[in-house]
Amino acid sequence: MVAGDFDLIQDTFITLSNRTIDLYLYLEKGFRDQGDYAMLALKKSMKWDEEKFGREYDLNRYMTVAVSDFNMGAMENKGLNIFNTKYILAKPQTATDTDYINIERVIGHEYFHNWSGNRITCRDWFQLTLKEGLTVLRDQLFTEDMTSQGVARIDVVNTMRNHQFPEDAGPMAHPIRPESYLKIDNFYTATVYEKGAEVIRMVRTLLTPDIFRKGMDYYFSHYDGQAVTTEDFIAAMEAASGKELTQFSRWYHQAGTPVLRVKTKYDANKKTYTIIIKQSCPPTPGQENKLPLHLPFAIGLIGKNCEDLTLQLQDENKSVKGTKILEIKKLEETFTFVDIAENPAPSLLRHFSAPVEMQYDYTNEELALLLRCDSDAFCRWEAGQRLMMNVIKAVAEAIAAGKNPVVDPILINGIHQLISKPMRDLNLLSRLLMFPSLKYLLTHLPQIELDVIFEAKTLIEKTVAETLKEAFEKLLKDNILFHDYVYNIIECGHRRIKNCALYYLLKHDKEKYHLLAFEQATQANNMTDQFGALGALNDLAVSHREKALAQFYERYQHEPLVVNKWFSLQASSTLPTVINEVKKLLHHPAFDINNPNNVYALLVTFGQNTLRFHAKNGEGYQLMVDQVLLIDAKNPQVSTRVVQPLTQWKQMDSVRGALMKQALQRLAQSNKLSDNLFEIVSKSVG
C-alpha cells in the first residue's frame, strides 16, 4: 500500500485481445506536468511485449506511483509498481535525452516483470538472476528496438566493463546464481542483473532468436503460476530447441570474467584463414579452478575494400556473408575458413556475443580499417577504443620516460574520416568519437601510473581537437536544431554529436569556446543541451564554469532531480579542487544525507571519479568512510552502494591499494556496522 496526496494521470491501453486496461500514474504534488512521457513509455512497453514475446497484461488495472525517497530505481509489485521519481519525471526543460531513454527502459523493465518475475517467480533468492537477468535482457531488447540497436549494445557493454567486470575481479565476486549470502540485499548486483542478462542473451545467440522465442513461449506456458529455478529455464530452452545445454549451465555457477586469447593465421597459397581461441578464467574467492565454458563467438572478416567477406568453414557446405557464430566448448578451439582471397582484418566477438575479456594483437592499421569499415557497430566502436588505448599507452610511456610524446597520426586521421563524412546514425558517431573511460584504461594499463594515463589522454584529446578544429566547428554548426525540443532518436543524435563537438572545441581552452559553452548552458531551450555544455565546461578552471553552475542552481533549485544533476557534475569534475567542492556540498542546504538520490548523485558519483577519488594522499578514501558510517546507521542498502569503490583496492597500485585497505579496516573496526555493510567489508579486507 502507498498512501499520500498525489497528482494522478489516467489513460487506457487496448490489448491484442481487445481488452481495456485502466492505467494510473500517481505523482507527488506539483509534478503532474512531468508524467506524460512515462505513461507513453508504459503503453509502448505493453505493445512491444505483446508483439515480441506474446505476453498480454492479465489484470484490468495497472498502477504506478513515483516517490522521491526510494533506495531502488523501481519495484515490480504486482499491479502497483513503486518508482523512484528519477525514472518517471520528464519534460524537456528538466530531463536529458538520456533521462528519456532510461525512463522508457526502466518502465519497460518493471512492466516486463509481470511475466518474468510475477506470473513466474523464483523458488528462492538464489534464483534471483532468473527473474532479473531475464528481465534485463528483455528491457535491453526493448531499448534496442526503440532507439539504435548498435548504440544500445555499446552502452550495455560500457556498463559491463566499468561496473560488472571490476565486480568479477573483486572480493565480492560471485556467480550469477550465488552459492550463499548473509544479506540478499548485497546481491542485487551488476553480476546478477547485467551478467545474468548476458548469459541469457548467449542462449538466444546459440539457439537463434526465432528458436529462443519458442523456448520463451514454452517457459511462459509450462511454468505459469509457479516458483521455479534456473534449471527449469534451461530445461525449457532445451525442450524447445533440442539443443543440449548442460555445459552451458556452468555460467550459473562459476564466477569471474573469462579470458579468450585469440590468434589468427592467413595462408595465401591455400587461401585459408585460421583462428585459434583459448579460454581461461582467473581464480575468484572460493573458486580456484574453473571448468571450460560453452559460449558463442561471433566473427566477421573485413576486406581491404571495406566489405564483409563470405565465410565458409572447412568441412561445411554452406557459406554466409557477414557474421558467423562459432561455438566454443573446449579450452582450445581451432576453426579454418576457406576461399579467403586476401588477408582480412578480423572482426571479433561481434555484438559482444559473450561477456568475456578478449585478447588479440591487432595492429593499429587493422584497427583503423575496422573503425572505418566494420558493419558491426560494437566491433567498430571496439576498434576505436583499442586504437585510442594503444595511442594513449605509447604517449604515456613516453611521458613516464621523460621523452617528447608523439600522437600517432593514424588515430587523428581515423577520427577525421569519421567526422568529415558523418554517418546516418549520429548517436553511433558520438560513441565512436569518445575515448575510453579512465577506469577502463587503468584496468588495461596497470603498469602505468594513473596520473600519467590521465595526462596522456588529455594531451591526445587536445591534439585531436586542435588538429581537427575546423571539422569540429562544422560538425557543431551542422547539428544545431533551431526548433523546440522534440524527443526522438534522430534528434537525440543531432544533440549528442553537437555536444560531442563542443566537448572537443573546449579542449582548446580559448575564451570564444568558453563563451559559446556558457551561452548554451544558460540559454538552451532543453536540458540535454544545457547539461552537455556544462559537461564540456566541467573540467576547466575558468570563470564561465563557475558562473554557469551558479546560474544552473539558481534556475532549478526547486527541481530535485535537476539539483542532483548539479551535484553529480561537480562530483565528477577532474579539477584538483573537486574533493573540497564535495565536502562543501555535503553541507549545502539542498543536500540531505537521508535522501538516496542525493547520496547517489554526490557520493556515488565521486566514488566513480577515478582520478580525484584516488588522489594519492588518500583523502578521498577517508571522506568516503566518514560518510559511509553516517549513512549505514540509517540506510544500510545505500551505505553498501557508497562503499563499493573501496572494495576494489587490489585492482589499484600498491600505494593507493594500501590506503584503500586501511580505510576498509577502519570500517571493520566499528562495532556498529549493519549486517549488509559488515558482509561487504569483512569479505573485502580478508
Residues in contact with 154: Cβ distance below 8 Å, sequence separation at least 6, in sequence order: 377, 378, 381, 428, 431
| 8 Å CB contact between 374 and 276 | no
Residues 666, 668, 673, 678, CA torsion sign: positive
Cell of 34: 512531468
Strands in 332-337's sheet, in edge-to-edge order, are: 332-337, 272-280, 259-267, 357-359
Distance (Å, whole) CA 397 – CA 399: 5
Distance (Å, whole) CA 94 – CA 99: 9
Give the DSSP letter string of 196-245.
HHHHHHHHHHHH-HHHHHHHHHHHHHHHTT-EE-HHHHHHHHHHHH----
Q: Give the side-chain half-sphere CA count within 13 A for 286.
A: 14
For residue 358, which phi and psi values (nearest 5 degrees)?
-105, 130
Using DSSP's 3-state secondary structure scheme, residue 347 falls into strand
Q: Is 104 a catalytic residue?
A: no
Query: Among 55, 25, 56, 51, which Cα is nearest to 38's?
Result: 25
Query: Among 330, 347, 329, which Cα is nearest to 206's?
Result: 329
Residues in contact with 225: Cβ distance below 8 Å, sequence separation at least 6, in sequence order: 119, 120
- Active-site residue (options: 28, 76, 110, 167): 110
3-state helix, strand, coil in the chain (%, to 5): 55, 15, 30
Quickly count: other Cβ atoms within 10 Å of residue 269's Cβ: 5
| 8 Å CB contact between 450 and 614 | yes
Using a 10 angstrom Cβ sphere, with 0-12 exposed, 13-18 middle and 19 or more buried, the burial of residue 550 is exposed
Give the angle 122-123-127 at the CA atoms, nearest 5°: 55
Work out the end-to-end distance of the chain between its first and last CA atoms, rounded to an integer number of angstroms. Answer: 42
Distance (Å, whole) CA 648 – CA 224: 41
Query: Among 76, 104, 298, 331, which Cα is nearest to 201's?
Result: 298
Query: Among 679, 684, 682, 650, which Cα is nearest to 668's?
Result: 682
Q: Give the side-chain half-sphere CA count within 13 A for 362.
A: 26
Q: Which residues are catalytic?
A: 110
